[in-house]
Amino acid sequence: MGDYTVRQFCRLVNLSESVTRQRIRDGEIPHYKIGSNIRIRAEVVDAIRAGDLDATGADGTGGAE
């Protein structure tokens, strides 16, 4: 599957858009930009779903690895 927009990512990992954008700004969610559009690689979503990466900050690290 292709990479995800911020909105698609939010739906997949059940985070609000504002929290997701804050974590992107803080460098906690790996991403890249195409022009002004932010994309999140499918591998990042896979890692979050597998429990290898925490984007929610629930582990007390703020989402950092």
| 3-state class (DSSP) for residue 17 | helix
38: how many CB neighbours lie within 10 A of its CB? 19
Instruction: Locate 19 and state its tokens.
Output: 């929290």
pLDDT digits (tens, 9 = 90+) for 51-65: 887 776 554 444 444
Per-residue pLDDT at 57: 58
> Cα dihedral sign for 25, 47, 9, 31?
positive
Cα 38 to chain centroid distance, Å, stands at 10
Q: Is the pTM of this model over 0.85?
A: no
> Cα dihedral sign for 49, 55, 61, 64?
positive
pLDDT digits (tens, 9 = 90+) for 35-56: 999 999 999 999 988 888 777 6
* Cα–Cα distance, 43 to 22 (Å, whole number): 20
Per-residue pLDDT at 44: 92
